[in-house]
Every structure is written in structure tokens, then in C-alpha cells.
Amino acid sequence: MKGESVNNIQLAKRSPSGIKIIWQELKKDRLAFGSLFFLLILLVSVYIASFMMDQKAIARVDIYSIYLSPSERNLLGTDYAGRDILGQLIFGTSNSFTISLCITSLTAFIGLSAGLIAGYFGGVVDNVIMRAIDFIMSLPSTMMIIVFVTVVPKFTVTNFILIMSIFLWTGKARLIRSKTLAERELEYVQASRTLGTPHWKIILSHILPNISSIIIVNFTLNLAGNIGLETALTFLGFGLPESTPSLGTLISYARNPDVLENKWWIWLPAAMMILVLMLSINFMGQALKRAADARQRRG
């Protein structure tokens, strides 16, 4: 008798899970699928290349080859200290991507926790978290990050990631909170609570899976945004320390008008790399967004 009912449940056609739907939508969107494919190839080759190459050799100053234009020896020329641009581009790409990924993951974790707690429990907790978020959001974040970066006693990559994360988790927390609020009122959550399921279990095993598609979409779009923000700050001179070259470091050489006007090979490849990265991640993100929203699905 018992076995039969279990069988019946399994026979009932299971609706595909959120992640499965997203994957199917992504495959249908040729632009997004192409972007994903392209991005994977680009990143894998960049990471492998940066492992194979000797970072010290790239960072070595060579005064006999300053500002060389692209040639067979230096495919993308050299910078003001005679360092190879292509090598710096490869290291810069892997550094920028890794750090943006760290920032995105950290902000996702903070934003998710704050959003779930505020949305699920409501009341005073919600009020306190939301006021904090409102306040952080109304600060001039670019300037605050720059001031923090200057003030912090020991400036390292870890500190940079932490400082960026302080100001970047708020939007995500707000989004997750509003979704959790809506989800909390649904019957399945009420039912589960009546059965005596503890709060943490409801949050983690009921609500979290149901908002997972929103989280994935938001993560992708934030990743693209963070690459832009990190490189912009490094461009201004307040991002990654010089020992860790970023794509922004290469572009910051263009603050010298002579480099900007006459030595395109120094900054243009890095600028294009950022554009290509952000565009392909965004194309994926937009396709995921359509997939997560049943009204916009292509079928």
C-alpha cells in the first residue's frame, strides 16, 4: 500500500526544476549560448596561459625596449618600462576576473543572508536591516571606496575585496528581501510552518530553492558590473595594488595623453577585453533573466 503511493507520486510528471529550465532557455538563445562558449574558451586559455607564464619575467623592467610598437617579439608592444603588454593583458584578465568573482561571491553571500533574514522574519529585524541598506545606498559609494582604500593601513587585495563588498551587497539584499517577502506568504511555507518545521529549514530548503533563479541572474549581472567597477577604480589608481596588475592598470597608462593619442596598443586591447568580457557575461545574464521570468520565456 505504502509502496504504491510512492509509485504514484513518482509517476506524476515532475515539472522541470528552475535550473533545468534556465539551462534549456540558455541553449535556445544563440547569442547567449555563443557568449557562454566564447567566455569559457577565453577564460580557460587565459588561466592556463597565466599559469604557464612567469609573472616575474613579465614584470621585469627593460629600458632598451620602452614603448615598442607591436612586433613579432612583443605581439602587443611594450609599456613605459619595456614590459610586454600581451603578458600583462593575460595576467590582468585573470586577476580582474578572479577578483570580481570574489567580490560577487562575497556580496552574494552577505546580500543573500541579509535579504533572507529581513524578508522572512520581518518586523524589527527587517526594519533595522532595511534602514542600514537605505543609508549605505544613499552614500556616494565610489568616493567612499576611494577614501577607505586610502585610509586602510595595509592595502592588500583582500582588503580591497572587503572594502568593495561593504558597499555592494545592498542592492542584492533588497532584491532578495522583496522576493522572500512574497514567498513567505505562500501556502507551502505556511503549511510547512504549521507542521513545525524550524525556521532555518524553511529558509534553506523551501524558500532558497524557489528564489534560486533570481539569485543566479543577479549574480551574473553583478559579476559583469563588478568587472567594470574594479577596473574603473584601478584606472583611477585606487584599485588593485601595482604588484597585482589588472586590466585597469593597463588602461590607466592612457591617462597620459601621449599614450592615449599615439600608443593605442597599450590601452586599447585591455579596454576591448573588458568590453568583450562584460558584453558576453551580460548577454548570458539577460538570457537568464528572460528564462527566470515565465512571461518572457521564448517557449
Partner 1 sequence: MWKFILRRFFVMIPQLFILSLIVFALAKQMPGDALTGISMDPRISPERIYELREKAGLNDPWYEQYGRWISGIIHGDFGKSYTHKIPVTEVIAERIWNTVFLALITLILTYLFAIPMGILSGRYNDTWIDKIVTGYNYLGFATPLFIFALIMLFVFGFSVGWFPTGGSVSSKVDAQTFEYYVSKLHHVILPALSTALIATVGTVQYLRNEIIDNKFKDYTRTARSKGIPDNKIYTRHILRNSLLPIAAFLGYEITGLVGGTVIIETIFSYPGVGQLFISSIGLRDFSVVTAIVMMLGFATLLGTLLSDIILSLVDPRVRVE
- Which residues are at the interface with partner 1 (CB under 8 A)? 135, 138-144, 146-148, 150-151, 224, 228-229, 231-232, 235-238, 251, 254-255, 257, 260-261, 264, 267, 271, 274-275, 278-279, 281-283, 286
Query: How far apart are the C-alpha atoms of 34 and 19, rounded to whole Å?
Result: 19
Cell numbers placing 46: 587565459
Least distance (Å) from partner 1 to the CB of residue 189? 26
Number of Cβ atoms within 10 Å of the Cβ of 35: 22
Least distance (Å) from partner 1 to the CB of residue 205? 34
Least distance (Å) from partner 1 to the CB of residue 262? 9
Cell numbers placing 70: 607591436
Task: Between 11 and 151, name the residue whose CB sits nearer to partner 1.
Answer: 151
Least distance (Å) from partner 1 to the CB of residue 255? 7
Task: Between 25 and 116, name the residue whose CB sits nearer to partner 1.
Answer: 25
Question: 3-state SS of the chain?
Answer: CHHHHHHHHHHCCCCCCHHHHHHHHHHHCHHHHHHHHHHHHHHHHHHHHHHHCCHHHHHCCCHHHCCCCCCCCCCCCECCCCCEHHHHHHHHHHHHHHHHHHHHHHHHHHHHHHHHHHHHHCHHHHHHHHHHHHHHHCCCHHHHHHHHHHHCCCCCHHHHHHHHHHHHCHHHHHHHHHHHHHHHCCHHHHHHHHCCCCHHHHHHHHHHHHCHHHHHHHHHHHHHHHHHHHHHHHHHCCCCCCCCCCHHHHHHHHHCHHHHHHCHHHHHHHHHHHHHHHHHHHHHHHHHHHHHCHHHCCC
Task: Between 157 and 236, name the residue whose CB sits nearer to partner 1.
Answer: 236
Least distance (Å) from partner 1 to the CB of residue 271? 5
Task: Between 15 and 150, name the residue whose CB sits nearer to partner 1.
Answer: 150
Task: Between 121 and 264, name the residue whose CB sits nearer to partner 1.
Answer: 264
Task: Between 206 and 263, name the residue whose CB sits nearer to partner 1.
Answer: 263
Task: Between 192 and 282, name the residue whose CB sits nearer to partner 1.
Answer: 282
Least distance (Å) from partner 1 to the CB of residue 135? 6
Give how far the C-alpha of residue 8 lies from the chain's centroid of Cα atoms, to the nearest Å: 43
Task: Between 62 and 293, name the residue whose CB sits nearer to partner 1.
Answer: 293
Least distance (Å) from partner 1 to the CB of residue 67? 17
> Whose grid coordinates read 583582500?
158
Least distance (Å) from partner 1 to the CB of residue 10? 42
